[in-house]
Amino acid sequence: MSKPLVPSPNATQNIALFDGRPFFEKTLIYGLQHGLIDRAKLDAIRADAPKGMVQIARYFGSEFLRPELEKAKDRIVNLVSLNLELASGGDLHKAAEVLRDHSFMSRSKAASDMLKALIVMPKTSHFGMNEQGSFRDEHIPLLAKWTLCSLPDYQDALAQRRKVGQVVDAAMWLAARLGLDLDDLEAAACDAEAIIRTALMALAVKQTQWPDWVAFQRIVVFLRKKAATLENSNNPNEANRATIAFPIPAALPPEFRPIVQAVRESLLADLPKMQDAAVAPRKLFAQTPAFIGRYYWTEDALSEVNDFDREASAAWNKATAGHSDDSSLLTLFLCIAAGSPKKTLVTDKAAASLVRKIRKGSWAPQQVAPYIESNAPEHLQNDYLALWRAFCEEAESILLSDHDPNLYDAMALLRRECNVSGS
């Protein structure tokens, strides 16, 4: 007959008890047991907690419903627990000191502010898909979910969003070196990684402005010529370096360097296909699924037209896309005056970006007349100049106004006078 299995004393010593109590409860009990929390502090917590519960219930629903109050109790305990555990690193003694030195309500608010900041952090590196600005009422349902999260859930989300934020910030830093600002990037609606790859390519060939398609294509042609030259070299060491180095700018802030280095590796991985002279650049970058969206160039119809030595009338037709109505022309002129890519139709979001860019100082209405005189059909130039002058007389004060922070008046003007779509 076999003997019953009995755990050895050594085995029982390795068993850890699971304590599922909220961290606030563990902190409070520890503080009472070790004299860190006195009777006056305990009474203050007892007085603050019901008030806080009612406030939270009201904020997320109704303070008059018992289920809402029950959930509010869970929320306030969890919020205080999140703050204490994060501030103390899980050390109950330090947590009790924090609870002793600060009010119960202040710990709840600190955690709430922490979650609000998390919610508005970038979730994706795609420009145009992240909301800019502070926490708004529309975020309240999302905050309701986060108030019941665990500390690991918060820390994982924070780490992920910080990494995304660094990619976005690195892309913005590189874009600024080549003349693009945040409004340009949001209007482009491209990935931050695409900005980093393209910027490294442009900086490697000493460009000082963001490339349009013509300039980008020239970079690709340069890479192909370099590959062909090195491929024919008899020097094996040189042949092994049959790629351009794409150096990382020396002035790049240290915190961005690992991000840019990682994206640079993906650029180097793309290089063999870029250097394949059998594939036309336009076909590779605009028609090959694996490459669509991986790089970003500005669209400049005039630049493309000039590159192929076409006549000014052809350039005008390309810039206007064949449209001659006043709204299309004013949209084109507005883009020129704001220093943005030329378009005859813009989305609501792009129109708002134009206004913000203008208010930041990028407003040069005098640039429109030379453009019209150089490109528009001669017999229509006076009419177009008069159209632009009339628009500026009415619109300039509204576009530059400091009394329209939400852009209501400016957007109403653009929707009326220009081609602005709702999507």
* Per-residue confidence (pLDDT) for residue 377, from 0 to 100: 84
Question: Per residue in 205-244, pLDDT tens?
Answer: 999 999 999 999 999 999 998 887 766 655 555 444 444 6
How many angstroms separate the CA atoms of 230 and 251, rounded? 30
* Per-residue confidence (pLDDT) for residue 301, from 0 to 100: 58
- Given a cut of 50, whether residue 126 has pLDDT beyond it is yes
How many angstroms separate the CA atoms of 302 and 315, rounded? 5
198 touches 223 (CB < 8 A)? no
Question: Per residue in 256-289, pLDDT tens?
Answer: 999 999 999 999 999 999 999 888 898 999 899 9
First-to-last CA distance in the chain? Answer: 80
Question: Per residue in 365-400, pLDDT tens?
Answer: 999 999 998 888 888 899 999 999 999 999 999 999
- Given a cut of 60, whether residue 148 has pLDDT beyond it is yes
pTM check: above 0.85: no
Percent of the chain scored above 90 by pLDDT? 72
* Per-residue confidence (pLDDT) for residue 182, from 0 to 100: 87
- Given a cut of 50, whether residue 403 has pLDDT beyond it is yes
Q: What long-range pairs does 225-233 form, CB within 8 A, spacing at least 24?
A: 226/275, 227/275, 228/277
* Per-residue confidence (pLDDT) for residue 302, from 0 to 100: 55
Question: Per residue in 251-263, pLDDT tens?
Answer: 999 999 999 999 9
* Per-residue confidence (pLDDT) for residue 344, from 0 to 100: 93
How many angstroms separate the CA atoms of 224 and 235, rounded? 18
How many angstroms separate the CA atoms of 350 and 184, rounded? 9
How many angstroms separate the CA atoms of 141 and 327, rounded? 40
* Per-residue confidence (pLDDT) for residue 129, from 0 to 100: 80
The pair phi, psi for residue 347, each rounded to 5°, is -80, 170
Question: Per residue in 32-43, pLDDT tens?
Answer: 999 999 999 999
344 versus 316: the higher-pLDDT residue is 344
Please give the mean pLDDT across all residues of the chain.
Answer: 88
How many angstroms separate the CA atoms of 303 and 218, rounded? 13
Look at the block and give the residue holding tokens 């693009």. Answer: 180
Mean pLDDT of 408-416: 95
How many angstroms separate the CA atoms of 214 and 299, rounded? 9
Distances (CA, A) of 115 to 75, 101, 143, 162: 12, 22, 7, 14
Question: Per residue in 41-77, pLDDT tens?
Answer: 999 999 999 999 999 999 999 999 999 999 999 999 9
* Per-residue confidence (pLDDT) for residue 261, from 0 to 100: 96
Question: Per residue in 3-31, pLDDT tens?
Answer: 444 444 454 455 556 677 999 999 999 99
